């Protein structure tokens, strides 16, 4: 037996299509809690302690509390919205602008809180709330504008803190340096955590584009092969047909010989075309199981494989099931994997394949089915079509949907697999 677990948990679809089946659910959750948790913790821990300090004048504590509440709520809403949208650097057409109302409310609260703290000459604390809102606003900007905003905020914080300290007769160096460092530190921490999420989003989109390009490249390869084969044969057939038409009255025997060549060329063209199509669509069970494990892992689904390709009692081993039978079960494996990816929000999937009592048995199940798969059920290599083909080969294909689980089970007699029509299996 071989177990191949994938320990990357998965979850429901998330914002902007970036989570769920794309495998970013856990990272989205981590980024959300890290960004908002860190921001809110330091706001409440540092600024909240100062607001509650009885030594601070009441005229400063009351507006400070109002500013703190506005800053905390607005920053949480804005950061939550930012994590849910396209990352910085994405095209403007797919990026969302920050909610102006929340940005205005948070900025006003931060300005009120910072102004009150600066008025009582708290040169260390006053810049934290403004630094938080400047950083939150910067998360919605492109990298270049983000750097410009942060640099400007650092300069303003240094000048403002130093000017107030100088006017009040306090030391201007520390009063200028500390707010500048505060703004830069808050930006570094917050944008650093967000940077990881942005990179993950871009890599996820790049992975999707790479898959699309691979499909297009394969289609182009197939089209080129088909063109090379049919183009040559059809050109020769056209020339010989034209020659036979000219010879039909002058030299009937020669015309008949040319038409026999045309018939032979047509047969060769048909044979070569079938070979290309079968080579393009030929599916192997082993390859499809391996591919399913890789694809499900890429979709952040915990894939468990249980493989026992031998039946010692019946004398069957991995090579006992003929290629045509492995191809037919490979189509079942491919269709079941497609259903997991397209029609479920699975966290776990299980693939069980074994030879037992003279039968090759394949079972694929997942725990995230919203309902039985609809597309592909009646045409192509859908489940109903595959069920008919397995039945014709002496096997059976069933599927069962219970609550949020879906299971596909196929069985095929090992000896009967040798009689599966190879052309039909490829079609």
Evaluate if residue 11 carries a pLDDT over 50.
no
Q: In the prediction, which pLDDT does 425 show?
A: 38
Choose between 50 and 418: higher pLDDT: 50
* pLDDT mean over 348-368: 88
Evaluate if residue 421 carries a pLDDT over 50.
no
Instruction: Give the β-pairing of 302-308 and 348-356.
Output: parallel
Q: In the prediction, which pLDDT does 208 show?
A: 73
Choose between 275 and 375: higher pLDDT: 275
- Residue 230 — very low, low, confident or very high, per pLDDT cuts 50/70/90? confident
- Determine what percent of the chain is predicted with pLDDT higher than 70: 80
Stated as kind and residue range, the H or E segment containing 21 is none
Of 127, 132, 135, nearest to 151 (Cα)? 135
Measured at the alpha carbon of residue 333, what is the angle toward residues 328 and 336, in degrees to the nearest 5?
Answer: 125
Least confident of 152-161, 289-298, 375-384: 375-384
| 8-state DSSP, 379 | S
Evaluate if residue 328 carries a pLDDT over 80.
yes
pLDDT tens column, 121-136: 888 888 888 999 999 9
Cβ atoms 383, 397 nearer than 8 A: yes
Evaluate if residue 417 carries a pLDDT over 50.
no
Of 293, 299, 316, 116, nearest to 208 (Cα)? 299
Alpha helices of 344-382 — where are they, by DSSP H? none
Q: In the prediction, which pLDDT does 313 show?
A: 62
Choose between 92 and 239: higher pLDDT: 239
- Determine what percent of the chain is predicted with pLDDT higher than 90: 12
* pLDDT mean over 419-425: 42
Evaluate if residue 32 carries a pLDDT over 50.
yes
> Which of 129-133, 358-362, 402-406 has the highest average model confidence (pLDDT)?
129-133
Evaluate if residue 104 carries a pLDDT over 70.
yes
* pLDDT mean over 343-361: 85
> Which of 68-72, 230-234, 403-407 has the highest average model confidence (pLDDT)?
68-72
CA–CA gap between residue 231 and residue 298 (Å, rounded): 40
Evaluate if residue 22 carries a pLDDT over 50.
no
- Residue 351 — very low, low, confident or very high, per pLDDT cuts 50/70/90? very high
CA–CA gap between residue 141 and residue 139 (Å, rounded): 6
Evaluate if residue 249 carries a pLDDT over 80.
yes
* pLDDT mean over 290-313: 75
The structure's pTM equals: 0.48
* pLDDT mean over 136-148: 88
Strand partners for 376: none
Q: Give the pair of three-digit tokens for residue 92.
A: 């403007």
Cβ atoms 354, 385 nearer than 8 A: no
């Amino acid at each position: 037996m071989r177990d191949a677990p994938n320990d990357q948990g998965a979850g429901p679809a998330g914002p902007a299509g970036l989570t769920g089946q794309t495998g970013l659910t856990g990272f989205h959750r981590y980024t959300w809690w890290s960004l908002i948790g860190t921001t809110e913790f330091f706001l409440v821990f540092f600024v909240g302690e100062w607001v509650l300090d009885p030594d601070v004048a009441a005229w400063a504590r009351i507006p400070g509390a109002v500013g703190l509440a506005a800053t905390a709520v607005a920053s949480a809403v804005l950061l939550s919205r930012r994590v849910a949208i396209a990352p910085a650097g994405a095209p403007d057409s797919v990026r969302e602008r920050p909610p102006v109302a929340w940005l205005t409310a948070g900025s006003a609260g931060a300005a009120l809180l910072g102004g009150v703290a600066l008025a009582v000459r708290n040169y260390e604390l006053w810049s934290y709330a403004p630094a938080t809102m400047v950083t939150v606003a910067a998360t919605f900007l492109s990298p270049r504008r983000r750097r410009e905003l942060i640099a400007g905020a650092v300069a303003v914080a240094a000048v403002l803190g130093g000017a107030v300290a100088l006017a009040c007769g306090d030391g201007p160096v520390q009063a200028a340096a500390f707010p500048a460092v505060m703004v830069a530190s808050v930006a570094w921490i917050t944008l650093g955590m967000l940077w990881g999420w942005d990179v993950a989003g871009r890599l996820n989109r790049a992975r999707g584009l790479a898959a699309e390009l691979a499909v297009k490249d394969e289609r182009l390869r197939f089209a080129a092969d088909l063109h090379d084969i049919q183009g040559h044969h059809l050109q020769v057939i056209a020339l010989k047909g034209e020659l036979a038409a000219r010879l039909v009255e002058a030299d009937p025997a020669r015309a008949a010989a040319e038409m026999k060549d045309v018939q032979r060329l047509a047969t060769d063209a048909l044979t070569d075309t079938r070979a290309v199509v079968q080579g393009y669509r030929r599916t192997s069970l082993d390859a499809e199981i391996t591919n399913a494990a890789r694809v499900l892992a890429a979709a952040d689904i915990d894939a468990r494989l249980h493989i026992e390709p031998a039946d010692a009692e019946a004398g069957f081993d991995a090579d006992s099931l003929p290629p045509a039978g492995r191809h037919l079960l490979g189509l079942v494996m491919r269709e079941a994997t497609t259903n997991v990816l397209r029609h479920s929000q699975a966290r776990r999937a299980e693939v069980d394949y074994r030879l037992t009592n003279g039968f090759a048995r394949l079972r694929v199940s997942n725990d995230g089915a919203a309902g039985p798969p609809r597309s592909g059920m009646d045409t192509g290599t859908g489940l109903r079509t595959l069920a008919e083909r397995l039945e014709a080969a002496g096997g059976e294909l069933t599927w069962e949907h219970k609550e949020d689980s879906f299971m596909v089970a196929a069985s095929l007699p090992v000896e009967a697999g040798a009689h599966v029509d190879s052309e039909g299996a490829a079609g």
